Amino acid sequence: MDQVLAMAAQEHAHRTAIRETDRQVTYQELQRLAESRAIALQQLGVKAGDRVAVWLPRGIENVASLWAATMVGAAYLPLDSSHPLSRVRYI
């Protein structure tokens, strides 16, 4: 996923990558979001081989977070944002 999105960001930098109801981002903007989140993950101690749970609604922030996890070599676990906190903690 990381390489595919990086290539898309390079080849289609100014094209819309994701559109939400009231917001949209280009591939370049999405890549920047993911890079900043990857840095934050590394600062939190996440490294290659770790697992990162992502508990966000579908959309820009979710995709950027998933991409960030792959950038640091971690596996991601997308959690349904509609699940209650007790279920998420169990998982």
* pLDDT one-digit tens code per residue, 47-80: 999 999 999 999 999 999 999 999 999 999 999 9
Which pTM value belongs to this model?
0.87
Average of pLDDT values for 11-18?
A: 91
Residue 12 has pLDDT above 70, yes or no: yes
Helical segments of 1-91, H only = 2-11, 27-43, 60-71, 85-90
Question: Using alpha carbons only, how large is the chain's radius of gyration in Å?
Answer: 14
Q: What's the CA gap between 5 and 11, in Å, rounded? A: 10
pLDDT, mean over the chain = 92
pLDDT band for 1, please (50, 70, 90 cuts): low
Provide the b/e sequence for 62-88 (b: ≥16 CB within 10 Å). bbbbbbbbbbbebebeeeeeeeeeeee
Residue 3 has pLDDT above 80, yes or no: no
What local confidence, expressed as pLDDT, does residue 77 receive?
94
